[in-house]
Structure formats: structure tokens, C-alpha cells
Amino acid sequence: MIRIPLVLLFGALLGASGDPTDPLAASNGEDVNGEEIRIEITPLGPEQEEIDSFVDSLRSGALSPVNGSNWRLLRFRFLNPEKGAIETGSPFRAEGFDYTGNFGFALKGDMEDPAGVIFQILEGQPRPSVSEFLAAVDTVAADPDLGPMLRSGDYQPTRPMPELFYDSSRPEDRVIGVQLLPLKDGLDTKTVGVNFSSNLLVHYAPASPYSPLGGTNCNPPPSQGGSGGGSGEASVTIFLGNTEIWSFHMTRPAASSGQWGSGIELENVKYRGKNLLSQAHAPIQCVLYENNSCGPYRDWNDEENAFVASGRDLAPGIRHAIPSASTILENQNDGGNFHGIAAYREGNEVVLQSELAAGWYRYIPIWKFNVDGTLKAWWGYDAVQNSCTCRPHTHHVYYRFDFNLGDGKNSFYEYNGSMGNWTPTHIAVEDSRDRNDATMRHWRVTDPDSGDVYAIAPGDFFGHHVDGEVDSYGVADAWFLQRKSNEIDDSSAGGWGTGPKLNSFVNGESVDNEDVVMWYGCHFYHNEDDPDFNTTKIVGPRLIPLVW
């Protein structure tokens, strides 16, 4: 990966003074044991302008099969090197669609070797991108009937679920859905599809499966689109005084890995100079409604939504928020002045936070790095106005923790019992497991050589929030799998359905002193009329050092 030779001292993570020259200070103005917490950030990788220029240079090479066609590049993502391999070049994979020929395509290669880039026609249609949806909105705005409705301010364009519609008269065409949500009482939602292959609008009747259900709308209204994307990676080091506490590589959600993205992605995470995680992210997100009143849906974790984060930019899509950030969870407002990762200090923790959109859902990925070695992996939930979101449903998010203690050959144990009276069970082969609150069940990963141990503790342990109860759709709470490069999500599992397909990876292989990935599932039941409703709207575990 190309590195931009720029180091930014994150001393601007401030307390109340607002002075960008001050060190990262606690909200109460006190330092940790009299020592400052500071962060250094080094932006990594090509910027968006370099990527655009590179893609343009491929028109006479790898992109020649679509020359003369109406086509669009939908996404461009850099590929992670194989675990343990030396990072070289700028390997990438991109997806696009040729509207003239009606086929999706992929590009794969290295930015440093344009002649070696490979063009491949895809089976099926790739997911729509933010830019494609905004182009569809522009088409709707140009319509003589619908355009005035948008310009009047009475309607707001929103991304529907699902994003791709079907045009029965032209079944091979690519049709991007657009819903026009009324912002005044007495108006009906309009649902249209923009057929980029035929340059026609497809109108759907209220009884169509793409039209919203009747019923009460809840949650705040959606903002004026504005979901962002682009490049954005950085190397991060957190210091306590002059001592390095944490170091890692972070990637903004829009550039995160996986078929559906994976939120704020962490790589090569070290605590006090020792390996902890090779990769940590959330590549799977799905939703099931009671009685199938809507959906079910497989959601995406790479579409950044606007939230409030005032401060200064440290890298593309990475901002120091002064004094903190505010998402729809805190302010119930679907909008803001920033897309990407906001970083700020909260007591003895450095916080990374973003806001994502998937149709009418809003997701809040949060990582909290404590100087004591605790790493909180939290995920927040909210939504904007839509008749579906008022109906009881359960969100399922699945974290993928690729642990890397010592040399990366680790072992896992399940613990049940009570504080000071634990019964360990060795997990020797691949397996899926459920949480058990009654026995305070949690898991521990160990490095057999050094004896280092980290615990993976459910959020329920600490009283802040609960991680929910699994159902048959959510399948399990945890999986322990031998690491494989093609299992970064469950897209390689095949089959139908929107729920997680991780059980297909459980095949009896050893996970004792092996390179092991732990998947951790959280389940958020969204029904505000339920007396046990999780009012924090947050789920997620804590990773805690026990021996280090």
C-alpha cells in the first residue's frame, strides 16, 4: 500500500479548552495518573483523486470491454494482504455495471501494475452504490411529474429496502429503487424504479412489494441523502505519556472489506507492543421482522451517513471531533456535517465512531480503546421514518475477531460459573456456542507459548446494555473457526436466505493452538413497547486483558 508521508499528532483530542495545540485531555480535564494521552495518525494509501486517475487510465486497458457503453464503477476497495505476508503494492478489487450490455463486472489487480489488471464479468448484479442512488435521484428530479414534488420540499428521496427492483417488462435490466417519503401529513409515499438500462422510470402501485406498508411512521425524518464514501485508511498509535499503549491500522466504513462492508475496520491491533488482533470488524448484518411483516433483509455496513462531528480532518474521512461526536442515537437528527470516522477522548478511552445507513436503518459502529487494555466493540441502532421500523423486529450483527496473540496460534476456552469460581471448557474443534447469562458464560483466548490471556465478555456483564437473545434466524451467539482467507464473511457459503450462514464453515477442524477466528453475534430486539427494551440501543462485547 502506498503511504502518504504525513504524520499528524492527534494532540487535538481536547477537553473543554478547544485549543488544537492542547494534548488529548479527559472530559474532566484530568490526565491519567498525571500523564497525557496522545495519538499519532499517519494517513495511508492513495487518495480518492489518485484512485480516480488510475481508473481513468484503465479505459484503454482492462476497461476496454466496456468502451462505448454506458457504465459506472460502483466501488473500489483495497485488498488486505494474506496474514503474515509482507505488505507490498496497492492490490484492489472494484465492481461496476455496464448498463448497455446489462452485466456486472469486476476489476482485480494492483495500482502499481495497470497492465496486470484483470476484467471479469460477474454472475448476477452487484449491490448499488451511493453514487448510483444519487444518480437515480437526479433522474427522478428531472421527471416532469415527480421533479416538482421533490423541489417543493414536500417529499424526501430515500433508499428503499431492497435497493434493486425488478422490471417485469425488462427482467435483465438494472433498476435502482427510489422512495419519495412525504414530509407533510396527507401525502402518500411514492415508489419508483430508475431503469438505467432503458433510461425509463418504472412506477410501482401501492400494492407492489416495493411499496411501504400502511401504518404509523415513527423515528425522525430522513435527511437529504448525502451518504458519503471514498478512500480513508490510517495508522494509529495511542500513547500514555511516552509509552505506546495501542497501535493499529483503521479503515473507514466506506472502504471496509467484505461483500457488504464491515463498519470501522481494525487491523494489526497491538496492546503495549504485543499482538492482539490481526483484524476486527462486523461483516454480517441482517434483520428479521415478527410475522415477516417486512423483509427479511441482509444489510450493508459500508454506506456512511452524515452525523455531527466538528473539528479538524486528519485524513480522508477521519476527523478529530471536538469535544465529541453526535449521531442520531444522541440527537435524533438524521443529518450532520461529516461522513467517516470521528475520533475523540472520553475519560480514559479513545473513541472511534461513525454512522451508517442501510435503507431506513441507521447503525452506529463504535470502538473504545481504554488505557487499561480493554477494547469495547459496540454497535448502536436507530432508524428514520418508515412504516416498517415501527413494527417489532430483531437486528443481528456479527463481529469477526481474528485473534493474533503471540505468533497467532491460539486456543480458546469457555468459562461458566461465578466471579472467582469458574469452570473452564476447552474448545478443541470448530463449534458454535450460545451465551448463558445464568452462568456468566464468557470466552477466553490464550497464547499457549506466552500464557497471555484476553477475555471476550458479553455486554450483559457490565449492566450498560445486553447483547440480546439468539433465535433460529440468528443461529448462534459465537463461532470458533479455523481461519480461512475466503471466510471474511459468509458470501462464499452460498445458498438462499438473509440470515448468517456461518454454520457451513463448521466442519470439525482443530481450533487448538491454531490460527482461529471468533465470530460474536449480537441481537437487538427493536420494540419500544416491550418492557425489557434495551433503551441504550447499543450491543457489543468487551475484550479484557487478564494476563498480559
d(CA 297, CA 311): 35
pLDDT for res 217? 63
pLDDT of residue 84: 67
pLDDT at 256: 94
Distances (CA, A) of 439 to 418, 424, 428, 527: 7, 12, 21, 27
Q: Name the burial class of residue 175, with classes exposed (0-12), middle (13-18) and buried (19+) by CB atoms within 10 angstroms of its CB.
A: buried
Query: 204-217 b/e with 16+ CB inside 10 Å = b?
Result: beeeeebbbeeeeb
Going by the DSSP 8-state scheme, the letter that residue 67 receives in this structure is T
Residue found under cell 448484518? 285
Q: Where are the beta strands (DSSP E) in 428-536?
A: 431-433, 442-446, 453-457, 478-482, 516-526
Cβ–Cβ contacts within 10 Å for residue 237, how many?
Answer: 17
Residue 31, SS3? coil
- Cα separation, 72 vs 383, in Å, equals 29
CA dihedral 458, 459, 462, 466 (to 10 degrees): -120
For residue 6, the model assigns a pLDDT of 34
Find how far residue 201's CA is from the centre of its chain: 31
Q: What is the pLDDT of residue 210?
A: 58
Q: Tens of pLDDT along the chain (548 residues)?
A: 334 333 333 333 333 222 222 232 333 334 566 678 988 888 888 888 899 999 999 999 999 999 999 999 999 988 877 776 666 788 999 999 999 999 999 999 999 999 999 999 998 899 898 899 999 999 999 999 999 999 998 888 888 888 888 877 888 899 999 988 888 888 888 889 999 998 889 887 554 555 555 555 677 777 755 555 667 899 999 999 999 999 999 999 999 999 999 999 999 999 999 999 999 999 999 999 999 988 899 999 999 999 999 999 988 899 999 999 999 999 999 989 999 999 999 999 999 999 999 988 999 999 999 999 999 999 999 998 877 888 899 999 999 999 999 999 999 999 999 888 999 999 999 999 999 999 999 999 999 999 999 999 999 887 788 999 999 999 999 999 999 999 999 999 987 889 999 999 999 999 999 999 999 999 999 987 888 888 899 999 999 999 99
